[in-house]
Structure 1
């Protein structure tokens, strides 16, 4: 090992660290320039403020952006100067609203600040085009989920197959929560034993992109408390890329339905994905159609 190589390894100033540091510096510079450019295009009149005297530029001043966004002037100044400071998603949202950023600009702001966007969490977050696609996918069951596995929208076939998901209160409509907390007598997943580990590993893959978002951490905590099996699998730290997989479902009076699930990311929407269930054989296809005509057959015949 040469002297130069030993020095780099010992001091942590090798090529890899230097590249990472340089990348962070470039992002902060780009963030600073981007914020200045967006600030310059907003006039005081746009936000209901008097123009004032001796204004050198037509755009807002830094202190005006800070005031409107509800953040400290010094902190915002440092952000525009490209200093290495941390920003929360709530603060970035306030700045984005003040600077009237569109969807692409908001996404760009979060990427430059290295802050994950909070996953969409309500019916209001569902693009209209996606609703039309869900309907067009019938007779295939399909739903829209976010990075936290919340079910945000679905078609009528999905509703017939998974009443426990769509019938839950808005804050509890979650694919993973239902899979791990329903009692075995009410859980329609027939091959849960072989699917559980992969579901948790794929969720961890998505979680790493949202782990600084408080809602995701709270969800992991609550599900770990509600399901010892989830807690055990989560503690293994396994991670897996999303991929098509076979899921089998069983309903009294209907029998087993074998499907292959495919997840497709929705472009332009952070963390949203379409999950489509395709029957693997004609018998399963016929049973799904029968369930659509008899949705009561998928509902548990007892309560806990």
Structure 2
């Protein structure tokens, strides 16, 4: 199936990228003049993971083989993957089988999300809802105040990642624009791995690569990160900079869409900008 072939290619690229960043000396391996490229050799990864070098080579070549969860965890240990990267590795192999499936809700997911966001209108903090692609479904008035006039965007442009990458306002409003946007790309890659047969992700990857050089570069970095709470600094044109904790929340009724809340954080408690 085309989706399986694409997933195997993604797996091969990810393994190669993670292998290349390991310093052999950190694992007690010699670095001599015959080592032509940075990182571990395929044979070294295979031996350290207890695998056949030929079998591991097939894996990096995108051959049709199915590594077990134990093998994936062994590779994750050798390649020193973070927990987010380890989960991503498993998602590339197992795909939709490990992703959450939505339950049958009392109302449609979109309607439910709009109703949730509508209840936050009295809040002084931004709230928005987005689907698995990052397409914006609903937002409160404070989101327009702190982010941008998303009402003015055409429907095809109402995507939080696209906005972060291409909107001039994003670089003004996001104090730590580069790190925030890199994180968003890494989260998007982790989410895309859960839906290997979804043409929507492939279409958006091609489109974003064409309109944003930063996306093309950061996507090829193969970094992954789960969607979790994190600090974000926002710059309001009148109120100045405020530090907020963004908290993504979801429910089986509208998985994989979710609502992103913003909570106040004291400036003294927040990490300093780089």
TM superposition score category, shorter chain reference? 0.5 to 0.7
Name stretches of at least 5 consecutive residues in structure 2 with no aligned partner.
1-50, 59-64, 70-95, 102-107, 269-274
Question: Quick one: distance in 2 between partners of 1:204 and 1:19?
Answer: 22
Q: Does 1:127 align with 2:111?
A: yes
Contact 2:147 2:170 in 1 (8 A): no
Question: Quick one: distance in 2 between partners of 1:157 and 1:184?
Answer: 15
Higher relative contact order (CA 8 A, sep 6+): 2
User: 176-185 or 210-219: which moved more?
Assistant: 176-185
- Name which of 220, 237, 240 aligns with 1:235: 220
Question: Quick one: distance in 1 between partners of 2:216 and 2:203?
Answer: 13
- Name which of 198, 211, 218 aligns with 2:183: 198
Shift of 1:134: 1.6
Match of 1:85 in 2: none
Match of 2:232 in 1: 247
Q: Which has the larger radius of gyration?
A: 1
Q: TM-score, normalised by structure 2?
A: 0.55
Shift of 1:115: 10
Provide Cα deviations, 1:150-198, integer angstroms capped at 9, x if missing partner.
Answer: 1011122223323343321112101110111123686411111222222
Once the two structures are superposed, the pairs formed by residues 1-304 of structure 1 within 5 Å of their partners are 125-128=109-112, 130-137=113-120, 138-183=123-168, 187-281=172-266
Contact 2:229 2:248 in 1 (8 A): yes
Name stretches of at least 5 consecutive residues in structure 1 with no aligned partner.
1-5, 21-110, 118-123, 284-304
Question: Quick one: distance in 2 between partners of 1:241 and 1:250?
Answer: 25
Contact 1:164 1:178 in 2 (8 A): no
SS of the residue corresponding to residue 218 of structure 2 reads helix
Shift of 1:274: 0.6
Question: Quick one: distance in 1 between partners of 2:202 and 2:189?
Answer: 11
C-alpha distance 281-227 of structure 1, shift in aligned 2 (>3 A)? same
Q: CA RMSD in A?
A: 3.6
Contact 1:266 1:274 in 2 (8 A): no
Q: Which ranges of 4 or more aligned residues in structure 1 deviate by more than 3 Å?
A: 16-20, 114-117, 184-187
C-alpha distance 156-17 of structure 1, shift in aligned 2 (>3 A)? closer
